[in-house]
Amino acid sequence: MAFTRREFGVSAAAGLAVAAVPGWSSAQITLGNKRIATVSDGYLNLPPEFLFDGLAPDVLQQALEQYGLPAGPLTPDVNVTLLREESRVVLFDAGAGPGFQESAGNLPGALDVLGVRPEEVTHVVFTHCHPDHLWGVLDDFDDLLFPRAAYLMGQREWDYWFDPETVDSIGSSRAAMAIGARRRMEQLEDKVQLFRDGEEILPGVAAVATPGHTPGHMSFEVRDGSDGVLVLGDAVGNHHVSFAEPGRPVGADQEPQKAAATRMRLLDQLAAGQMQLIGYHLPGGGIGRAERFGSGYRFVPAA
């Protein structure tokens, strides 16, 4: 049987994933008929300044020691959420794809190991348009990786990144992100469905505006009756600083003060209600809970 070029690429990616990713589905949740898992797209390599932008070197070293972080690159996990219910196969974000970092872009192979083919994905829902969330919509040949999927994104996030003036206003360090986002969004323009805060975008899935990391960042509350989980995206982007000191500005956020306010609100609600959460860059597959700890919070991974 002859392979199509997409099938060949997915098979090759599966082989790479086996070598690079120790677990395909790191954690799982069942909510009624909804089966939710996190699938590893790999990990990122980021300089410490990505979290601690603006700190003097000696203060940065103190912060790294305080949170037990390495002096070298930070390597946060990339957890794509997979929701399966009846005929729906839903991805929350699309991973980094082949053009961002060598340590990421493993999603096609990880899905293949789980028996999920790209053609079976019915919906791709975006939290925001940073490379590790959006760029994976295109394969090595610049074709849509999920050709039969509907694509859903918040109206404000779409407007911000699709605006041709964003590349000039976002700052030189993020200009490549804006260029890359626009190129991929042009391929989605005729397929995307836009929504606003509070809308039920799919049965049992509601959009929750969580701005700051990007201007239109969205999280998603997935519910079945009284049971639910909040898919955070990057609204809480790490398991150490942003839990222990949620009000502390983070260099990865485009609007640091607004992101900090969002983070404090979310963690207060999550800890008070003990609602499950899924974080895109949290360890152990990203599924767990927030609980109060001292003057802040801590991340408690799912058992």
- Per-residue pLDDT tens digits for 144-177: 999 999 999 999 999 999 999 999 999 999 999 9
Q: What is the pLDDT of residue 22?
A: 41
- Which burial class, exposed, middle or buried, applies to 295 when counting CB atoms under 10 A from its CB (0-12, 13-18, 19+)? exposed
Q: What is the pLDDT of residue 148?
A: 97
**Where residue 12 falls among pLDDT bands split at 50, 70, 90?**
very low
Q: What is the pLDDT of residue 165?
A: 97
Residue-wise pLDDT for 217-236, tens only, equals 999 999 999 999 999 999 99
Q: pTM above 0.75?
A: yes
Which of 61-70, 85-94, 249-258 comes out lowest in average pLDDT?
61-70
Q: What is the pLDDT of residue 8?
A: 30
Q: What is the pLDDT of residue 26?
A: 53
CA angle 217, 218, 219 (to 5 degrees): 135
**DSSP collapsed to 3 states, the chain:** CCCCHHHHHHHHHHHHHHHHCCCCEEEEEEECCEEEEEEEEEECCECCHHHHCCCCHHHHHHHHHHCCCCCCCECCEEEEEEEEECCEEEEECCCCCCCCCCCECCHHHHHHHCCCCHHHCCEEECCCCCHHHHHHHECCCCCECCCCCEEEEEHHHHHHHHCCCHHHHCCHHHHHHHHHHHHHHHHHCCCEEEECCCCEEECCEEEEECCCCCCCCEEEEEEECCEEEEEEECCCCCCCHHHHCCCCCCCCCCCHHHHHHHHHHHHHHHHHHCCEEEECCCCCCCEEEEEEECCEEEEEECC
**Mean pLDDT, residues 12-22 taken together:** 38
Tell me phi and psi for residue 231, to 5 degrees: -85, 110
Which of 10-19, 130-139, 273-282 comes out lowest in average pLDDT?
10-19
Assign 149 to helix, strand or coil. coil
Assign 78 to helix, strand or coil. strand
Quick check: 11 pLDDT over 70? no
Q: Which residue has the higher pLDDT, 6 or 216?
A: 216
Q: What is the pLDDT of residue 56?
A: 79
**Where residue 18 falls among pLDDT bands split at 50, 70, 90?**
very low
Q: Mean pLDDT, the chain, as a whole number?
A: 90
Residue-wise pLDDT for 174-212, tens only, equals 999 999 999 999 999 999 999 999 999 999 999 999 999
In contact, 218 and 233? CB cutoff 8 Å? yes
- CATH code of domain 5-301: 3.60.15.10
Q: What is the pLDDT of residue 64?
A: 84
Residue ranges covered by each domain of the chain:
5-301
